[in-house]
Amino acid sequence: MAASKIFSFLFLQLMFVLFVLHPTNAQEGLKVGFYAKTCPEAEAIVKKVIVQTLSRAPTLAAPLLRMHFHDCFVRGCDGSVLLNSSTNQAEKNAIPNQTLRGFQIIDNVKFALEKACPGVVSCADILAIVARDVVATPKGPFWEVETGRRDGRVSNISEALLNIPSPFGNISSLKRDFQQKGLSVKDLVVLSGAHTIGIGHCGAFTNRLYNFTGKGDTDPTLDPNYITKLKGKCKLGDTLSFAEMDPGSFKTFDEDYYTLVAKRRGLFQSDAALLDDPETKAYVKLQATTHGSTFFKDFAVSMVNMARVGVLTGKDGEIRKQCSRVN
């Protein structure tokens, strides 16, 4: 009796240790090196295409990172953002997707992979590996990408609008959007740091410059000097021009984003909102005052968390032959 109790106690402890020490096994079906036997060169092939692409077009890093993020928030990380619709009713046709770019790069990666190992590597995994490589290449953090995702067959324009966190979001709506995907408040503030690279289109923030509450006013949470600067980039009614999200270093993956947000120079309302919650605010201040002491490590962890959202594994879904259409 006593012996069996001790045994089950030890067993529970062992399970606990295994679970804690191997958090990468938490998502059943995903693992680092899923293609080690079936397509050993897979990650090297992706990396080669991405390094070549970024040497030619460094500004593609941000939209390619965003593509994985958009994919994961709608039906999980299942490659659904890549599907075309003959009637323009797919996720990529939704308003939040209008500024996604780089679909051709994903097609190039898929083409190279199909040549090496036909029908093996999913489009959903390509997005996850590409997201890591576009961060690591411009001097950002590196992490091991879990693979083994399979591709979904459904892509629905209305689901994109319902699930993708909005640049106009407030802190409660942002926290809710992340929580609905099983992601934490920390994941929210850490993944927002992706705004260290890329641009924002005027349409996503000019309300803060010209007509915040419909009275021709400005957003009081935005630094007035910065408003003057931004007005130079975006005239009233201009939705197509853009501003760098991290001016001066928008091509370099670094922790400057938090310094900007702390100085009330975050471009979107969703950036400024990070100062409205004690936990996210503390994180912003910490990174801003310590040159991003933990940002790279945290970003790697949160990317792995996000890449586990709603994945299809095992016999679910399919391995698409072309990323833009179901088999």
List interacting residues with ligand NAG (CB under 6 A): 84, 92-93, 97-98, 100, 103, 156, 158-159, 170, 172-173, 211, 214, 216, 324
Q: How far is the CB of 213 from ligand NAG (least distance, A)?
A: 8
Q: Among residues 218 and 259, whose Cβ is nearest to ligand NAG?
A: 218
Closest-by-Cβ residue to ligand NAG is 214
Q: Among residues 211 and 249, whose Cβ is nearest to ligand NAG?
A: 211
Q: How far is the CB of 145 from ligand NAG (least distance, A)?
A: 24
- DSSP assignment of 8-35 equals HHHHHHHHHHHHHH-GGGSSTT-EETTT
Q: The tokens of 169 are what? A: 């979001």
Angle value at C-alpha 63, between 186 and 167, nearest 5 degrees: 50
Q: Among residues 85 and 249, whose Cβ is nearest to ligand NAG?
A: 85
Q: Among residues 99 and 249, whose Cβ is nearest to ligand NAG?
A: 99
Q: The tokens of 41 are what? A: 């060169």
Binding residues for substrate: 165
Q: How far is the CB of 72 from ligand NAG (least distance, A)?
A: 17
Residue pair 197/137 in contact by the 8 Å Cβ criterion: no
Catalytic status, residue 291? no
Q: Which backbone phi and psi does 64 adopt, to 5 degrees?
A: -75, -35
Binding residues: 71, 74, 76, 78, 80, 91, 165, 195-196, 246, 254
Q: How far is the CB of 154 from ligand NAG (least distance, A)?
A: 7
CA-to-CA dists, residue 140 to 63, 190, 251, angstroms: 16, 14, 11
* Nearest-angstrom CA–CA distance, 1 and 129: 51
Instruction: Determine which one of 22, 68, 70, 201 is catalytic.
Output: 70
- The distance between the two most distant Cα atoms of the chain, rounded to a whole number of Å, is 78
Which residue numbers are catalytic? 70
